[in-house]
A and B are shown apart, each in its own frame.
Chain A
Amino acid sequence: MATLEELQGRITRLEDIKQIEKLQRIYGYYLDYNEYQKVVDLFSENAESVEIADYGVYKGKKGAKRFYLELLGGKPPRVGELSIGMIMQGVVDIDPNGKTAKGRWYCMMIEAKPTLSLHEGELRQLWGNGIYENKYIKENGKWMFQKVFFFLNFRTPYEDGWLKVPVVGQNGPSTEVPPDAPSTFYYPYPAGVHLQPHYKHPITGK
């Protein structure tokens, strides 16, 4: 029979996973509504980086602010712009120290966005898909983002599909709000380069 302390440890782990799942989903809902200040407030003061698709790496909390507030939120969304990210299928692992964690998620996107650049060009309806491999950190009892990394699989016009047009337009690197470093892993379909998961095989441990 486990001791009270051991049970406390086990229930805390389950609570931590649930809190991280909620954090990740709430992040998605804020992004849907272009609420970038609220997104930035989900990041730790000691955040490592944000890297989304071909935008490049934005380092630290300062970089997160530059990326979300200045780059994405630099111009108000255009009439008819639509940004839905459905964040699904989380695999969340708490590190043994109980203070940091990692999570892998699918994101399926339903969008209506400018396709010449981030804020310019004709609005088109798009399907998008990608994978998050994120890091989380617990500070003052609350889980926050330490790192957001998003691997883009495809972003394609509704009328074409991923086989005909895997990625429409190019979003980064921005000249107005430049990244701190170039993209580290941008290989959309059909590159066939896979984003490996943070976790080991649950059975073999490899």
Chain B
Amino acid sequence: MNLEELEKQVTLMEDIQEIENLQRIYAYYFDLQRWQDILDLFSDNAESVEIVDHGLFKGKEGAKKMYWDWIGQGGQPFRAPWVQFIITQIGGVVNMSPDGKTAWGRWQTWLCEAKPFGAYPRQEWLHGYYENKYVKKNGKWLFSKLHWNNTFCSPFEDGWMKTPLMGLMNYHPTIKPDAPPTAFRPYPSGYHIPYHYKHPITSR
């Protein structure tokens, strides 16, 4: 082993730590409803953003439509005070490409939310999995693709078995996605979101 090899190993560990922080910081910004700060976590050459059934939004322009225009309601920094997004980021499995410039991450999420459904404020539990892509630009890690697939979105009063899905979120009067959702099959469909990684022992 020489100094050059050691530096590669240290860089790899630092990169994984940076990406784990990026993913967690994203969720804290979501909780804080800081939509511009979320957009600034995306690469200018971002591939796409897809959340639940909103549809596929392409490029950084698409990310702006998703976070700022749609979820952020046209650039309002904050929604009503009772609207709550608690988004836990659990179980990160981050893998680096051989050249060290791109990476993939799988995570799962347990959410505790309050938001309007139709005219009514509702409290809900959600669960889902991320399969995301990251890119290193000028020494910093950014999102190049974000996909959050929803397992359930259930009223606190009912639970996932009684009401797996409280309603669709795929309609907006003026904002349209670039493509329909690619993998929106909530519980109890039994749908499996493919892993970006191979089996760590058998490599299959």
Residues 127-150 of chain A, each 1 if its beta carbon lies under 8 Å from chain B, else 0? 000000000000000101000000
A33:B192 contact, CB within 8 angstroms: yes
B6:A88 contact, CB within 8 angstroms: no
Expressed in whole angstroms, the minimum distance between the Cβ of A8 and any Cβ of chain B is 5
Interface size class of B (residues with CB under 8 A): 20 to 34
Residues in B91-135 with C-beta less than 8 Å from chain A: 91-94, 106, 108, 110, 127
Residues from chain A with Cβ under 8 Å of B172 in the complex: none
Residues in A74-96 with C-beta less than 8 Å from chain B: 77, 79-80, 82, 84, 86-88
Tell me, in angstroms, the Cα distance from A33 to B127 when the chains sit together. 15
Known: A15-B13, A112-B188, A144-B201. A124 touches B161 (CB 8 A): yes
Known: A15-B9, A80-B161, A142-B200. A88 touches B90 (CB 8 A): yes
B161:A123 contact, CB within 8 angstroms: yes
B160:A82 contact, CB within 8 angstroms: yes
Expressed in whole angstroms, the minimum distance between the Cβ of B72 and any Cβ of chain A is 28
Residues from chain B with Cβ under 8 Å of A112 in the complex: 160-161, 187-188
Expressed in whole angstroms, the minimum distance between the Cβ of B93 and any Cβ of chain A is 5
A14:B190 contact, CB within 8 angstroms: no
A11:B91 contact, CB within 8 angstroms: no
Q: B151 within 8 Å of A by Cβ? A: yes
Determine the residue in chain B with the shortest Cβ distance to A19: B200
Q: A110 within 8 Å of B by Cβ? A: yes
Tell me, in angstroms, the Cα distance from A144 to B1 when the chains sit together. 25
Q: B10 within 8 Å of A by Cβ? A: yes
A4:B201 contact, CB within 8 angstroms: no
Q: A100 within 8 Å of B by Cβ? A: no
Q: A158 within 8 Å of B by Cβ? A: yes
What are 27 sample pairs from A and B whose C-beta atoms fall under 8 A apart?
A4-B1, A4-B2, A5-B1, A15-B9, A18-B16, A25-B93, A26-B197, A28-B91, A29-B93, A29-B106, A29-B195, A41-B199, A41-B201, A41-B202, A42-B200, A77-B190, A79-B190, A80-B188, A82-B151, A82-B161, A82-B187, A108-B110, A110-B160, A112-B188, A125-B161, A142-B201, A158-B159
**A-B pairs with the 10 shortest C-beta distances?**
A125-B161, A158-B159, A80-B188, A25-B91, A125-B159, A11-B9, A86-B90, A112-B161, A41-B202, A33-B192
